[in-house]
Amino acid sequence: MKIGIFTVLFANLSFEEMLDKVASSGLETLEIGTGGFPGNVHCPLQELLENQQRRQEWLDTIRQHGLEISAFSCHANPLHPHPESAKEARQLIQETIQLAALIGVETINTFSGCPGESQYSQHPSWVTCPWPPEFNEVLKWQWEEIAIPYWKEVNTFSKKYGVRVAIEPHPGFLVYNTETALRLRERCGEWIGVNFDPSHFFWQGIDPSTSLKILAEAGALFHMHAKDTAFDEDNVRRNGVLDTKPYEQELARSWIFRTIGYGQSEETWKSIFSTLQKVGYTGTVSIEHEDSLMSVEEGFQKAVEFLKRLRIRERQHQLWWV
């Protein structure tokens, strides 16, 4: 496995400053945002699509720093009920797939998206329970009429270009757990898989190691994020884990995102890394920093140190922690 970084963390740095920063930290791969929710700082998407010379220069600069691209990320909502929002997200996903094919990047990361409750909606509507009965009617419509037809088209398009699409399960979207991730893949095609972020599983009460085994067995584990979740047990006992308060209200929330190693125990993360090794995952573990209690620099350095300490090497069919 390789250790990498989701480069939107360094949005305040220029492209070459970011590369210097990542390379000097001993990391190996870059997950680069092309637009959508992560934004686009280090990847001039249209220019790279249209200009072969500029594209080669951009890629050469990355390689000169001893780095490679693990994935392009264009997290967006291609199922948005507002037509213009959906169109923009779908174009972004399509163009990101095309750029990945031109550069030789095998994976892009995004969200499944979430439609509204009907064709008349203005905003996404995420169904979280089966009753009252109209909720199930909404959910069936969202999947059968909106999500599956679109993602079947994406699977065909991805296959044409030889680029995998890794859906990041995230509450608020149709794909948010193990079951929904597999449902999308089974209904839409094998070029659809998962960008696995344990932090989104922790707070739902899902065991990441169990989910990783299931997804890997299905051939759906395409990419991996390194991000943690911490709980405020008093708030959990009072309100449960469904929490709509802003992330910056740390004291009032039931849970918050943390830098890896500052939410769950080291033993939990050792188990996750051991599971990755057991299922044969050889891709990147990409640091994503969304810790509101740490600065960018502190969160980055803490994550790098933690991952380097837990990196697994296979030597003579044994696991070595280094």
Q: Which two tokens stand for residue 204?
A: 């739902």
Q: What is the pLDDT along the chain (322 residues), one digit of tens a residue?
A: 999 999 999 999 999 999 999 999 999 999 999 999 988 989 999 999 999 999 999 999 999 999 999 999 999 999 999 999 999 999 999 999 999 999 999 999 999 999 999 999 999 999 999 999 999 999 999 999 999 999 999 999 999 999 999 999 999 999 999 999 999 999 999 999 999 999 999 999 999 999 999 999 999 999 999 999 999 999 999 999 999 999 999 999 999 999 999 999 999 999 999 999 999 999 999 999 999 999 999 999 999 999 999 875 443 344 444 3
The number of CA neighbours under 13 Å toward the Cβ of 66 is 10
Is the CB of residue 30 less than 8 Å from the CB of residue 67? Answer: yes
Q: Which two tokens stand for residue 278?
A: 């057991």
Output the pLDDT for position 310. 86
Neighbours of 120 (CB within 10 A): 7
Total-model pTM: 0.95
Domain count, the chain: 1
Is the CB of residue 221 less than 8 Å from the CB of residue 257? Answer: no
Is the CB of residue 204 less than 8 Å from the CB of residue 176? Answer: yes
User: The CATH number of the domain where 8 resides is what?
Assistant: 3.20.20.150
Domain interval for residue 201 = 2-321
For residue 126, give the nearest of 111, 138, 137, 134 by alpha carbon. Answer: 138
